[in-house]
Amino acid sequence: MVSKRKLSKTDAPGESCKTDLLKTKKSRISDKEKASACAGVENEGVFEELLRTSGIILKAGEGQNEIAVDQMAFQKKLCLALEKHPTYPGVVKQFITGLESHIKDRNQFKNCLLPCTPIRTEGSRTLVHSYCESLIKLLLGIKILQPAVITLLLEKIPEFFFDIVGTFGTNFPRLIVNQFKWLDKLLDSQELVKKLMQMVSVSPVPVQHDIITSLPEILEDSQQSEVARELRTFQFLSSCLSCLLKQGRRLTVPILDALSRLDLDAGLLAEVRQSAMTIVPSVKLEDLPVVVKFILHNVKAADTVEVISDLRKSLDLSSCVLPLQILGSQKKLKSQVQASSSMSQVTTSQNCVKLLFDVIKLAVRFQKDVSEAWIKAIENSTSVSDHKVLDLIVLLLIHSTNTKNRKQIEKVLRSKIRLGCMPEQLMQNAFQNHSMVIKDFFPSILALAQTFLHSAHPAIVSFGSCMYKQAFAAFDSYCQQEVVTALVTHVCSGSETELDISLDVLTDLVTLHTSLLMRYATFVKTILDSTQKLNPCQIRKLFYILSTLAFSQRQEGSYIQDDMHMVLRKWLSSTVPNHKQMGIIGAVTMIGSMALKRNEGDGSLLERPELNSERDGQLSTLLDLVGFCCEQTPEILALYYDELANLIEKQKGNLDLQLLEEFGKSLVEDFPSDFVVDLNPTVDGSFLFPVKSLYNLDEDESQGAIAINLLPLVSQSELGRVTDGMSNQSKRVVSPICLSPCFRLLRLYTGEQNSGSLEEIDALLGCPLYLTDLEVEGKLDSLSKQEREFLCSLLFYALNWFREVVNAFCEQQDTEMKGKVLTRLQNITELQTVLGKCLAASPGYVPPPATFDSEALEALPSINAVGPVRKKNGRKKKTDGSKAGSADRSQADDSSGGNQPDTELSELEKTASGREAGNPLAQLQSYRPYFRELDLEVFTVLHCGLLTKSVLDTEMHTETREVVQLGPAELCFLLDDLCWKLEHVLTPGSTRRVPFPKERGHKDIGFSHLCQRSPKEVAMCVVKLLKPLCNHMENMHNYFQVIVIQNRGVEDDPEVNIQEHQLMSSCYQQLLLTFRSLFAWNGFSQLENTDLLRSALQVLADRLKPGETEFLLLEELISESFHYLLNFHQSVPSFQCAFILTQLLIAIAEKPMAGWKKEKMASLAKQFLCQSWVKPSGDREKGSQFNSALHTLICVYLEHTDDILKAIEEISSVGVPELIKSAKDGCSSTYPTLSRQTFPVFFRVMMAQLESSVKSISAGKPSDSSEVQLEKLLQWNIAVRNFHILINLVKVFDSRPVLSICLKYGRLFVEAFLKLAMPLLDYSFKKHRDDVQSLLKTLQLSTRQLHHMCGHSKIRQDIGLTNHVPLLKKTLEQFVYRVKAMLAFNHCQEAFWVGILKNRDLQGEEILSQASEEGDSDEEDSAESPTKEPSGSGTEASDEDGAAGPGPRSPAGP
């Protein structure tokens, strides 16, 4: 009542306003026009009159329309006024006409679109709300006006298509569209949708944008699905029209924004999401976050994995990197303005990527299914090429966002790194191109890097170290400090692996980012407080790091210098040998940094003259101190020489030689006086053996000839050990221990001074040694222990001298010098033969050291009389004992893979053959640490063919010419050392698991020179050697081809030189090992090494197509190289060679593995398995080494064959029966490698591959067609038949390994059957009942045999076997009930019964101790008992009988 009264009071002002307005209008019309305009005035009057009557006053100009009543009251009044008007419904048309006339004026139209202003009269309260809707929106709320007003508004929109917003200060299309939002009721929403979509199809992009984004607020919920379909149609079907293609792409954001706010049904949502997915690869970068957000936020739990997998494949961050590359080129070519413009583009690009990962982060944090699906999608990717930078960043994102998934993320990353799917190059790309994104995950990066450094796998450790380096280079100072702190913590932790890797990382950082790391030098310096945990190699790294920091920027590094000097003086003055050695290593490393050339090109090295003199003084003082501390101890002096030599070699050309003149002059004087004497026919003195000059290559030079005074020095050294304490302290000790180190330093110093020329010391190459008569055959037993050991020491010193001589002169180009180098190699092989005989007669002998740091001395093997025992305890892994243990472990290994560790095979082959031939050379393998290291340059000798050495007469005229060539023994010696080096430095690909050795700190013994080179440098050296290596391998191929031809048809004792055959076979094997080590190197997977791989492959391909390989594609080069190497399969002399050749071909073929290569590999492996491998002695190859290689070769065959089930069936149905029929020591005629000794190897691989192959058969689905079901049933029938054949072989081969394999893989096969085959049987039983029954009957026989094995294991009480029984029993019981469930699913439960199986042995005989008292009835005759459940160990099996029961019990059809 109150409201009515108030409303009635407001009518009076309205009436007065209406009267005034009418008077004003009439005054504007002239008398002449009154008659003609009468009708128009009346229409306008209806519009304005009704509005005034209802409570709205129209304003002209800038003023807004005023409303004097409540909005709802206005709408009611106007509606009543229209309905009660005498001319209704014609008045509605008049009203709309008046409205149309009114809004022709832009200002008046704008007022009608803007909110009305409530009228507030003084002294009275108003009931009008402070905010009121616009006139147009109020009119749209009136049913009888709504259709006409909508039509009018939509017709007005095209008038403003080409208006530039801001011309009139108003965006009219947007205001018009806003009028349709949030209406209480739409009379015909379908018609409105149709008109709006028509308007969208013809509108410019800004209007389209406004309409589309407003649709969710315009429509009722019931209409949203229809609009979504219209939107999708416009977005994705209109792309067919080229004129609308760009518009469609520009509208991606508004369309997806609208779709995300619509209530869509599941089917339509999936359709729209799929459409959005298709534009992900081509959408603009700035729109990508919106698209991804729509996809992720509208995904259902059931579809998550599939959607994420598709999204992962579609997202490509490489497009985000392109602006960075463009910027790099523009900086060089364009102006500063253009460069700054490009920089802004890069910033925009990075911001878009940041937004993209923010969207993913939100989804991962709040949608559990998304994070798990993303992890699953990455896990399911198996190909290396499928993995992207996106994967790594997402894994880091999930690790940092969801704490519950961290362990899972670590596991996935470890697995991917091991498999080579996450190479370091991928991580480098992530840090370099997306550092803004990755920086947010820095805590996770730090945690993962710390975790990875604890790993035992080298690839994972390397990945962790690379994370540290990339984080330091890419992030800000706070992150850099955290990285340095973490690395210092690793160093001080005491863990050998962490310590080495952390120092390596710091070494890389100080080399690449010296100035950056200088800020954190205080942290690095604290490692000096923990040096007691460091070995000499680590001391060398630490002092290199500190010296680089201390001397790169003199003023800033002075405090580091002081600390280093203090520590070094303490160590050098110590009486503890270990400390003194550490002092020598640290001091020489420091000298290296001080003695670097200071050039003007390097701003950081500019120094004032006073600083130069100060440096010279420090250097002289340090050299004097080190020299004084070394001169009394030969081992320490030798270490000093070696360290200085390594310094000169490492810093070749960069050392200020004037600063090294002090020790250089004394060195040139001391070496001749200490070790060189004039050659005389007799030598004065009393020695254990008579002195004899041997190995003189300069016999023609009778005058001025010199000799190495070796035997007298060794005698003096041996006696000096007793009287060492009485020696004169002022006299410098001369020891043969220092001979080789001093010569190495002398030749490097001479080469540095004379630009590589060694003419000053070339007489040392051909000069003889003072030794004794080395014809020891038959004399060793008559010598005393002291004499034998003296002779051994003499031979070690002589061999090490020759090794250093070969190191020094191997690169000389003079033909005469080359001939002498080859002769010295022959001398080495001869001396090694003599040494082998002497060592065999000297049990317990310990040779003089050849490496002089403490880690080498502590790690040297204890040498015993028995070869295998000695080798097992030694540093070298290459022994029969260790390999046997490896083979045993491989036999017990649970994995089905065939990639066994095999790099030891070369040594083992030579060891075994040498021992059988009575050749003591084999024993030298465990003495490697006592020999001087050969440099990589020595292998340039492999280029040499036949060389002629001139023998001159006394008048320097050519008297005769001797032909010198690289013989098999020298070739074998060089290749053996090359293989040893490549195995150490070239880490193979991910196919091979290589854990760190337990004594990782000692792994570099014998590789000190090699470790100064990077793996890439070593690989480049080997690539340069490929041509001569190919020549040598082709020679080997021809040699064995000739032997095959000569012995063809000869059955009894073919004439073969056994020793020569073994030597050539060993060379062949080492050549193949060299090729395999190179091409299996994991560095070839990195992009920067592609050119190196191409050049290596080009050498091989050029052997088949000379001169035609320069322009071949990489894939073509791989194909040609594969064919070239494949040709060698005809001549391989041993199974080990065949095995290594197979692995080499796989390494080549995996780049990538094409279908034809797979067929070739399967054919080759089968050929090797079907070949009889007999040694030259006539014995068949056997042993653990043979078994290990055989295991791998069978795996290669089965993994590469087209039909693995057929291959297994052929071996088990053809080869095994032949073996059973053969004699006790016989073999299969089809597969000669299959014997009773190798049967467990074949059986393990077949069982493992069978179980693996059935996992590739997809599980049955209800949607599968009858043909698909039949095909899968056929595959399972073949698999179950193979399984039955293999299981039944236990009755013949009942050894413990075979039983263990059966119990393990039998359970795994039944589990796979339950998981994959039973769903198939569920849906195919009705259509293919006979096939299902046959399948289950066959499997029943196998499960019964497994049950018998369980009983056998319990009777034998074998713990190793009984451990498998509980899990197997559980699986068999699950199988019983699963078959019952399958029958119930097909309404055939009456066809199922359970019987009691009796415990029987392997042959099927009942175990009487557990016999049933009720009789001897067999389990097939058990009474029908559909309700009895299996229990215990005797309830396995009559379920198959039930499933395959009589036909009438099962329904004939569905």
Helices (H), 303-367: 304-314, 318-333, 336-366
Q: pLDDT at residue 1417 above 70?
A: no
3-state secondary structure (DSSP) of residue 946 = strand
Q: pLDDT at residue 30 above 60?
A: no
C-alpha span between 545 and 554 (Å, rounded): 15
Instruction: Give the lowest-confidence range in 346-350, 403-407, 833-837, 900-904.
Output: 900-904
The confidence score (pLDDT) of residue 872 equals 34
Report the pLDDT averaged over residues 613-636: 79
- E strands present in 857-981: 946-952, 958-965
C-alpha span between 70 and 55 (Å, rounded): 8
Cα–Cα distances in angstroms (integers) from residue 558 to residues 503, 518, 582, 864, 1397, in the given order: 22, 12, 22, 52, 86
C-alpha span between 211 and 1436 (Å, rounded): 70
Q: Is residue 125 very low, low, confident or very high in pLDDT (cuts 50, 70, 90)?
A: low
* Residue % of the chain over a pLDDT of 70: 74
Nearest to 630 by CA among 747, 707, 535, 745: 745
Scan for tokens 């000059």, then name that residue.
693
The confidence score (pLDDT) of residue 793 equals 92
3-state secondary structure (DSSP) of residue 68 = coil
Q: Is residue 890 very low, low, confident or very high in pLDDT (cuts 50, 70, 90)?
A: very low
Query: Are 1025 and 939 within 8 A, CB to CB?
Result: yes
Query: Are 870 and 864 within 8 A, CB to CB?
Result: yes
The confidence score (pLDDT) of residue 804 equals 94
C-alpha span between 143 and 95 (Å, rounded): 14
Structure tokens of 1094? 């191409």
Which residue(s) pair with 962 in the sheet?
Answer: 949
Q: Is residue 948 very low, low, confident or very high in pLDDT (cuts 50, 70, 90)?
A: low
pTM attached to this predicted model: 0.72
3-state secondary structure (DSSP) of residue 959 = strand
pLDDT tens, residue by residue, 1391-1411: 666 666 666 666 666 666 544
C-alpha span between 1048 and 1044 (Å, rounded): 6
C-alpha span between 1196 and 737 (Å, rounded): 50
Structure tokens of 989? 């690909």
Report the pLDDT averaged over residues 1322-1349: 83
Scan for tokens 């035997």, then name that residue.
711
Q: What is the DSSP string of 537-599?
A: HHHHHHHHHHHHHHHHSHHHHHHHHHHHHHHHHHHHT-S-HHHHHHHHHHHHHHHHHHTB---
Compute the half-sphere exposure of residue 669: CA atoms within 13 Å on the CB side of its CA.
6
Signed CA dihedral, 23, 29, 30, 35: sign only: negative
User: At a CB cut-off of 8 Å and minimum separation 6, what does 233 contact?
Assistant: none
Helix axes 90-102, 106-113, angle to 10 degrees: 110
pLDDT tens, residue by residue, 673-703: 888 888 887 777 777 888 888 888 877 666 6
The confidence score (pLDDT) of residue 652 equals 79
C-alpha span between 433 and 437 (Å, rounded): 9
Q: Is residue 105 very low, low, confident or very high in pLDDT (cuts 50, 70, 90)?
A: confident
Helices (H), 1256-1328: 1266-1288, 1296-1312, 1318-1324
- E strands present in 688-781: 692-694, 706-708, 769-771
Structure tokens of 1294? 């009942």
C-alpha span between 1034 and 1011 (Å, rounded): 31
The confidence score (pLDDT) of residue 1001 equals 43
What backbone phi and psi angles, to 5 degrees, belong to 1151?
Answer: -115, 55
Q: pLDDT at residue 913 above 70?
A: no
Signed CA dihedral, 269, 270, 271, 273: sign only: positive
Nearest to 644 by CA among 540, 751, 732, 745: 745
- State which of 379-393, 534-548, 1042-1056, 1129-1143 shows the largest mean pLDDT: 1129-1143
**Residue type at 589 in one-letter notation:** T
- Dihedral through CA 645, CA 650, CA 656, CA 657, nearest 10? 30
pLDDT tens, residue by residue, 547-594: 888 887 655 557 788 888 888 888 888 888 888 888 888 888 888 888
User: At a CB cut-off of 8 Å and minimum separation 6, what does 1216 contact?
Assistant: 1228, 1234, 1239, 1242, 1289
The confidence score (pLDDT) of residue 22 equals 35
What one-character DSSP code corresponds to residue 222?
A: G
User: At a CB cut-off of 8 Å and minimum separation 6, what does 1056 contact?
Assistant: 1043, 1047, 1176
pLDDT tens, residue by residue, 895-910: 333 334 333 334 334 4
Compute the half-sphere exposure of residue 729: CA atoms within 13 Å on the CB side of its CA.
3
pLDDT tens, residue by residue, 259-286: 666 666 666 677 777 777 777 777 777 7
pLDDT tens, residue by residue, 1033-1070: 998 899 888 888 877 655 445 566 788 888 889 999 99
pLDDT tens, residue by residue, 715-768: 888 765 434 433 444 456 788 999 999 999 999 888 888 888 888 888 899 899
pLDDT tens, residue by residue, 1004-1041: 677 888 877 888 899 999 999 999 999 999 988 998 88
Residue that wins the pLDDT comparison between 878 and 776? 776
Residue that wins the pLDDT comparison between 395 and 1046? 395
335 burial via Cβ count (<10 Å: 0-12, 13-18, 19+): exposed
User: At a CB cut-off of 8 Å and minimum separation 6, what does 881 contact?
Assistant: 868, 869, 871, 872
pLDDT tens, residue by residue, 311-354: 888 887 776 654 444 444 444 444 444 545 555 556 677 778 88
Report the chain's mean pLDDT, rounded to a whole number: 76
Query: Are 923 and 867 within 8 A, CB to CB?
Result: yes
Q: Is residue 630 very low, low, confident or very high in pLDDT (cuts 50, 70, 90)?
A: confident
C-alpha span between 462 and 497 (Å, rounded): 11
Structure tokens of 652? 């070749």
